[in-house]
Amino acid sequence: MMKEKKQKSANKLAIKMGVGLLLGLIAGTSCIFLREYWIANGQEDLWRFIQNLLFQDLTAKDAQNAIGIFYIIGQWFVNALQLVIIPMVFTSIALAMCDISDTKKLGRISYKTLGYFLLTSVVALVLAGIVGILIYQAGWFQADVQTTVAQNTTATTSNPFAIFLSIIPNNIITAFSSNSSVLAVVFLAVVTGLSMNALQEKVKYLKIILKEVNNVIVVFLSFVIHKFGPFAIFILITRTFAIYGVEHLRPALIYVVATVLCLLFYLIFGYGSILCLTTKLHPLPFVKKMAKVAMFGFSTSSSAATLPLNTKTTVEELGVHEDIASFTLPLGMTINMNGTAIMQTIAAIFIAASAGYEVTIGSVFLIAILALIASTGTPAAPGAGAVILFTVLTGLGYTNDAAILAYSLILAINRPIEMVVTSLNVVGDSAACVYVAKSEKMFDEEKYYSK
């Protein structure tokens, strides 16, 4: 009875999210047409008033007099989800490590998780490399970037291997004070959980405290997702479409279409095929049940914000044991960025072609390697993938003025792509969970195939 009630609740949530997405697309597209119509008829002030009232980013320059209702509501929702990321990751992983009596099993889980992440990343990069080189050879990536106005966006260059320095923090307070320190929190949670495992009854009260904190987090997230999720999706989608006019979408249409199609192909067919080959499970239940998670990731553009719903779906609907999900999903949110790697590979090829650099099979291979490393260090936050893309460009030497202009163009139009990228990233994390749980016999196959 309880299982049927949970399933009905999940189905209702998926329907509500679907309705929110559809209404957001309709409202957002209508805003684009209205914007173009008013600007063409000399009513730009009217559009500016609506943008300041509803959509304006209040942190931007010259936004002192804006109200930004949709921006505020959207940020409230995303912030509410991000609020509990660090405590959720810490408590869930620490409890999982504490409850694992076989340390050899923990080692196996780690190796299998990282191996699956690497497998899906390599397949994704091969697909992106093939798509990128074919379009380049066809001459469709030639763009007159010199006529495009560069955006005032700054990217910080850094060695992509520096991500490994952040795994072990030198200050525990600093590690818990930022959502970008998830790797450090994962390390601290594993160490804490294993230490509790070794001490057993000596730390029973700490275990109780962690469980109660985790329970509070689950209740809070369930309330936020079920009560406000569908409405927030409508708000986020509407604003995203409304703030991007036609003039920003035209210059790199080929890049946008190619990347989105590549991402969707991998999302719909890639993960299902790999899952079928590695676990012998039918991929259709996985694709159906992960649809709402992909939709949620699409609307928020944040793997971190999607983590709560992804965890809930993976455990309750796909049949993955909670211990596997609590370890694999937070780790995947940090280092398993298949969608980001695909986007960065195709974007780098586009920028190289636009800036006059020769693109060869060898350079595509280097782009893929750098994209793999750079995507691993990409924060699970909206827009981060396009900013980290700069590390790929500098690593390859694509830094002339034309390349910078092309990169600025990517930053201007990449928001819709980042939305699909996030869907791919979060679904890939869940696929890894299913594979690891199945191989460790910590998987409920009956729950996986249930409707």
Query: What is the model's pLDDT at position 11?
Result: 60
Is the pTM higher than 0.75? Answer: no
pLDDT, tens only, 220-262: 877 887 788 788 888 877 887 777 655 445 546 788 889 999 9
Dist. CA 237–CA 24, nearest whole Å: 5
Dist. CA 372–CA 351, nearest whole Å: 18
CB 139 within 8 A of CB 133: no
Dist. CA 345–CA 366, nearest whole Å: 10
pLDDT, tens only, 252-290: 678 888 999 999 999 989 999 999 999 999 999 999 999
Lookup: tokens for 420: 């699909």
Query: What is the model's pLDDT at position 100?
Result: 62
pLDDT for 159 beyond 80: no
Query: What is the model's pLDDT at position 378?
Result: 60
Confidence band of 83 (pLDDT split at 50, 70, 90): confident
pLDDT for 451 beyond 90: no
CATH number of the domain at 152, please: 1.10.3860.10
What end-to-end distance do the CA atoms of the chain give, in Å?
14
Top mean pLDDT of 134-138, 230-234, 316-320, 386-390 is at 316-320
Across 2-6, 49-53, 293-297, 311-315, least confident range: 2-6
C-alpha distances in Å from residue 247, one per residue of 71, 386, 409 = 22, 20, 11
For residues 381 and 202, the model is more confident at: 202
- Give the number of domains in the chain: 1
Dist. CA 236–CA 71, nearest whole Å: 8
Across 105-109, 115-119, 295-299, least confident range: 105-109
pLDDT, tens only, 294-337: 988 888 777 877 888 899 899 999 999 988 888 888 888 867 88
C-alpha distances in Å from residue 154, one per residue of 331, 387, 390, 411 = 28, 8, 10, 10
Query: What is the model's pLDDT at position 252?
Result: 65
Write out the residue range of the structural domain in which residue 75 sits. Answer: 2-449
Average pLDDT, stretch 122-140?
Answer: 89
pLDDT for 21 beyond 70: yes
Dist. CA 99–CA 232, nearest whole Å: 36
Average pLDDT, stretch 13-37?
Answer: 81
- Burial 297-330, CB ≥16 within 10 A → b, else e: bbbbbbbbbbbbbbbbbbbbbbbbbbbbbbbbbb
Dist. CA 232–CA 14, nearest whole Å: 14
Query: What is the model's pLDDT at position 284?
Result: 92
Query: What is the model's pLDDT at position 119?
Result: 93
Confidence band of 146 (pLDDT split at 50, 70, 90): very low
Average pLDDT, stretch 102-120?
Answer: 81
pLDDT for 199 beyond 60: yes
Write the DSSP assignment of 146-170 as a string of letters.
GGSPPP--------GGGGGGGSS-S
Query: What is the model's pLDDT at position 435?
Result: 94
Strand (E) or helix (H) holding 332 = helix 322-335
Dist. CA 42–CA 39, nearest whole Å: 5
Backbone torsions φ then ψ of 443, nearest 5 degrees: -140, 130
pLDDT for 6 beyond 70: no
